[in-house]
């Protein structure tokens, strides 16, 4: 009996050592980035070993704010990501409802085609979508960054899977009470689907906040660039000023990590609910 106890003790120790090593690898780049952003240039180049800066300085943040309109970029990112997230929640709820609750010809076939579009890489549709946006004189506007993403196959898929688990009896009861499709969706289905909607919201927000290639392609004016695009400007300009680059990187990363940490419980629960299963 004693030996068994010792065995579990050893097993737990090994487990913890492996997990702690992994955790350090996962978290170290962030800490190192923040640490570098708080050092002056001399310290970055001379003593690359200090985790805690000798002379703590905010000079890099000041320089970032002075040299590029980073607050503007921040607001642009926020406008684009929030608009895309809100509209995806709305449009995907509608189409997920159609694919899970309504009956119409070719319903499942259409759903599988929609699912198939998730396979299409952005690059294949980049050129035509660019030409269409150009036709409507939308290049270099917020609309160019937002419109292509106001609905999506992934969101529809995720919500449909969840809607399918909501009992059919609820709908029958609601119909008896004179509730139409819209009323049923907005008064019953959506309130019941909060965890999965939260998951979709985080996914969509994260994706559009982190998106770099599309804003790079459809915008030229500086005032309209997003944070990720703005961050890349450093590479061209003072590429070797690591402190400044890290200050910019920190500004671009902290909001999304903070949001993720604040909502991670919901996020994980939502993933567990649908389990990314087939069907």
Partner 1 sequence: MAGFTVGRRNIKFAFLLPALIYLMLMAILPLVWTLTLSLTKWHANIMPKPEWVGLDNFKYFLFEDPRFWRDLGFTSMYVGISVTGELVLGLIFATLLSQKFKGKNFFRVVYLLPMACPPIAVAFLWRMMLHPDIGIINTILTSIGLNGVKWTTSATVAPFTIIMVDIWEWTPFMFLALLAALQSLPTELYQAAAVDGASSWQMFTHITLPLIAPVIVTISLIRIIDAFKLFELVFGITGAGPGSATESLSFYVYVIGMKGFKLGRGSAISWLFLIILLIFALILISRFKKQRT
- Of 256-275, binders to partner 1 (CB under 8 A) are 256-257, 260-261, 264, 268, 271-272, 275
**How far is C-alpha 13 from the geometric centre of its chain's CA atoms?**
35
Binders of partner 1 among 204-243, rule CB under 8 A?
206, 209-210, 212-213, 217, 227-228, 231-232, 234-235, 242
Q: What's the rounded Cα separation, in Å, for the pair 160 and 111? A: 10
Q: How far apart are alpha carbons 62 and 59 in whole angstroms?
A: 5
Q: Tell me if 39 sits within 8 A of 50, measured CB to CB.
A: yes
Find the binder of partner 1 among 58, 112, 136, 182 (CB under 8 A). 182
Q: For residues 224 and 242, which CB has a smaller minimum distance to partner 1 in the complex? A: 242
Smallest distance from partner 1 to CB 167, Å: 19
Q: Give yes or no for residue 21 binding partner 1 (CB under 8 A).
A: no
- Joined together, the tokens standing for residue 268 give 């994980």
* Exposure on the CB side of residue 248, measured as CA atoms within 13 A: 26
Under rule CB under 8 A, residue 186 binds partner 1: no
DSSP characters for 92-126?
Answer: HHHHHHHHHH---TTHHHHHHHHHHGGGS-HHHHH
Distance CA 140, CA 149 (A): 16
Q: Which two tokens stand for residue 124?
A: 């294949």
Chain residues 29-88 in contact with partner 1, contact rule CB under 8 A: 29-30, 32-33, 36, 44-45, 48-49
- Interface pick for partner 1 out of 12, 42, 54, 62 (rule CB under 8 A): 12
Q: Closest separation between CB of residue 145 and partner 1, Å? A: 14
* Cβ proximity to partner 1, 33 vs 69, nearer residue: 33
> Measured from the CB atom, is 56 or 127 closer to partner 1?
127
Give the span between the Cα atoms of 41 and 47, in whole angstroms. 10
What Å distances lie between residue 235 and 35, 51, 212, 240, 245, CA to CA? 20, 24, 14, 8, 8
Residue from 140, 179, 181, 190 touching partner 1 (CB under 8 A): that is 181
Short-list 92, 229, 81, 197, CA closest to 152 = 92
Q: Tell the residue number behind the tokens 């579990």, with chain if given.
A: 8
Nearer to partner 1, 58 or 260 (CB): 260
Nearest approach in angstroms of CB 261 to partner 1 is 7
Segment 94 to 123, residues that bind partner 1, using CB under 8 A: 94-95, 97-99, 102, 104, 110, 113-114, 117-123
State yes or no: residue 276 binds partner 1 (CB under 8 A): yes
């Amino acid at each position: 009996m004693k030996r068994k106890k010792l065995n579990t003790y050893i097993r737990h120790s090994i487990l913890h050592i492996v997990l702690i090593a992994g955790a350090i690898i996962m978290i170290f780049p962030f800490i190192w980035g923040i640490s570098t952003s708080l050092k002056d240039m001399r310290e970055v180049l001379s003593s690359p070993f200090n985790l805690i800066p000798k002379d703590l300085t905010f000079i890099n943040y000041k320089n970032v704010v002075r040299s590029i309109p980073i607050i503007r970029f921040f607001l642009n990112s926020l406008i684009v990501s929030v608009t895309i997230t809100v509209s995806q929640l709305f449009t995907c709820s509608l189409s997920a409802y159609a694919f899970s609750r309504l009956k119409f010809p070719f319903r499942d076939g259409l759903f599988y085609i929609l699912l198939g579009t998730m396979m299409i890489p952005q690059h294949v549709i980049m050129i035509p979508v660019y030409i269409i946006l150009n036709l409507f004189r939308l290049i270099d506007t917020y609309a160019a960054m937002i419109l292509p993403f106001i609905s999506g196959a992934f969101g529809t898929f995720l919500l449909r899977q969840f809607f399918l688990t909501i009992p059919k009896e609820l709908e029958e009861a609601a119909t008896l009470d004179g509730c139409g499709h819209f009323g049923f969706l907005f008064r019953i289905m959506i309130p019941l689907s909060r965890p999965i909607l939260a998951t979709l919201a985080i996914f969509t927000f994260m994706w559009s906040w982190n998106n770099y290639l599309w804003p790079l392609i459809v915008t030229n004016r500086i005032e309209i660039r997003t944070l990720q695009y703005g961050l890349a400007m450093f590479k061209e300009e003072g590429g070797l000023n690591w402190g400044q680059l890290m200050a910019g990187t920190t500004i671009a990363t902290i909001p999304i990590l903070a949001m993720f940490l604040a909502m991670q419980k919901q996020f994980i629960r939502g993933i567990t609910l649908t389990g990314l299963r087939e069907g």
